[in-house]
């Protein structure tokens, strides 16, 4: 689905500034998977929780079990600050027990997590400053997994794949004249958010908003919608879909499914904006 970006980048919706991961998740120095002892009931509970997150929904049984094994437990004390606003986040945390308050920067609104909830999912993909402060109001139990462990488990089977480079998107007008520093940042962002989607799994539902670009690194993706009678589209390695791609209006009305196992990279609007604003 090759085409130009017809809209100005200033129209891209804003999120907190995001920076691509600087370390190479494929090096031999990547950490090995960690295993923390858990009871069978804890494993079952964690399995039910992680299946709610899009980053884990397309993992096979073996990798999902590795993820469960790698989760660590944190016992929080009442009044303890779990994370400070502005600090670089590197882990997903899931609340099992206790009351936690979230204080967004620049807002008086307080969000409460009582014996459920989570924070930090996007930090498994990117270096991102915490947009909020999290404080334990009572004693409680949290489960966590960090970015390095997540990447080691999820991406290890793809370490021999060729990386995507910025030249790959050079035919898109807003990327056609970027400088070397911007190219390096784009390379980093594209290869820092790789995901494996198993055969037949849904990537995007009809009507869902795609706040970025999916790049097909390996495999085939079909875009189809019987509801709207739109002719199916098959995308292969080297194609992309998402914001401002050709026929984007139609894409919003289509489901995207993996045909065979598919490896995708995703770069969101805030990352695109950050890269284009670099000097």
- Do 179 and 256 lie in one domain? The reply is yes
Q: Is 123 part of a structural domain of the chain?
A: yes
Boundary (domain end) residue, out of 156, 190, 209: 156
- Do 106 and 176 lie in one domain? The reply is no
7-21, 62-76, 111-125, 239-253, range with the lowest pLDDT = 7-21
CA 78, CA 137: separation in Å to the nearest integer? 5
Question: Helix, strand, or coil here: 149?
Answer: helix
pLDDT tens readout for residues 46-91: 999 998 887 787 677 888 889 999 999 999 999 999 999 888 888 9
- Do 172 and 244 lie in one domain? The reply is yes
CA 82, CA 93: separation in Å to the nearest integer? 10
pLDDT tens readout for residues 126-165: 667 888 899 999 999 999 999 889 888 876 655 445 555 5
Q: Is 190 part of a structural domain of the chain?
A: yes
Q: Is 109 part of a structural domain of the chain?
A: yes
Q: Is 21 part of a structural domain of the chain?
A: no
Give the DSSP letter of residue 168: G
Position 139 scores a pLDDT of 97
Q: Is 103 part of a structural domain of the chain?
A: yes
- Do 132 and 237 lie in one domain? The reply is no
Position 70 scores a pLDDT of 94
- Do 51 and 152 lie in one domain? The reply is yes
What domain range includes position 249?
161-276
Per-residue pLDDT at 263 exceeds 90 = no
**Which stretch, 13-17, 130-134, 237-241, has highest mean pLDDT?**
130-134
- Do 197 and 248 lie in one domain? The reply is yes
- Do 135 and 238 lie in one domain? The reply is no
- Do 169 and 239 lie in one domain? The reply is yes
For the chain, give the mean pLDDT.
75
- Do 181 and 270 lie in one domain? The reply is yes
Q: Is 236 part of a structural domain of the chain?
A: yes
Structurally, the chain folds into a number of domains equal to 2
Q: Is 27 part of a structural domain of the chain?
A: no
Average the pLDDT over 221-249 and give the result.
Answer: 68
Q: How far is CA 124 from CA 53, 147, 155, in A?
A: 11, 4, 12
Provide CB contacts within 8 A for 168, sequence distance 6+. Answer: 190, 215, 238
Position 208 scores a pLDDT of 73
Boundary (domain end) residue, out of 108, 135, 156: 156
- The CATH number of the domain holding residue 188 is 2.60.120.10
Per-residue pLDDT at 175 exceeds 80 = no
- Do 265 and 222 lie in one domain? The reply is yes
Position 43 scores a pLDDT of 93
- Do 165 and 148 lie in one domain? The reply is no
16-30, 96-110, 206-220, 237-251, range with the lowest pLDDT = 16-30
Closest CA to 84 of 119, 44, 42, 122: 119
- Do 129 and 176 lie in one domain? The reply is no
6-15, 43-52, 149-158, 262-271, range with the lowest pLDDT = 6-15
Closest CA to 204 of 252, 164, 246, 269: 252
Q: Token pair for residue 12?
A: 């891209």
Residue 4 pLDDT class (50, 70, 90 cuts): very low
Q: Is 4 part of a structural domain of the chain?
A: no
Per-residue pLDDT at 204 exceeds 60 = yes
Closest CA to 215 of 268, 152, 157, 276: 268
Position 16 scores a pLDDT of 39
Boundary (domain end) residue, out of 156, 171, 205: 156
Per-residue pLDDT at 185 exceeds 90 = no
């Amino acid at each position: 689905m090759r085409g130009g970006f017809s809209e100005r980048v200033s129209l891209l919706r804003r999120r907190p500034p995001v920076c691509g991961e600087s370390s190479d998740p494929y090096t031999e120095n990547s950490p090995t998977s960690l295993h923390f002892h858990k009871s069978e009931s804890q494993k079952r509970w964690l399995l039910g929780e992680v299946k709610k997150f899009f980053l884990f929904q397309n993992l096979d049984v073996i990798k999902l079990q590795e993820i469960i094994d790698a989760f660590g437990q944190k016992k929080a004390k009442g009044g303890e600050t779990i994370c400070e606003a502005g600090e670089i986040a590197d882990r997903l945390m899931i609340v099992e027990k206790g009351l936690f308050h979230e204080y967004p920067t620049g807002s008086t609104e307080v969000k409460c997590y009582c014996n459920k909830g989570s924070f930090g999912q996007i930090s498994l993909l990117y270096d991102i400053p915490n947009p909020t402060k999290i404080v334990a109001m009572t004693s409680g139990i949290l489960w966590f997994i960090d970015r390095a462990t997540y990447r080691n488990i999820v991406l290890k089977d793809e370490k021999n794949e060729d990386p995507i480079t910025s030249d790959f998107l050079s035919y898109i007008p807003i990327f056609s004249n970027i400088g070397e520093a911007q190219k390096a940042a784009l390379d980093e962002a594209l290869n820092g958010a790789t995901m494996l989607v198993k055969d037949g799994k849904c990537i995007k539902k009809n009507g869902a908003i795609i706040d970025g670009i999916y790049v097909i690194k390996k495999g085939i993706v079909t875009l189809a919608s019987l509801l709207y009678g739109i002719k199916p589209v098959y995308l292969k390695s080297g194609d992309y879909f998402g914001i401002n791609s050709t026929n984007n209006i139609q894409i919003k009305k289509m489901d995207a499914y993996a045909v065979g196992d598919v490896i995708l990279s995703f770069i969101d609007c805030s990352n695109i904006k950050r890269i284009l604003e670099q000097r």
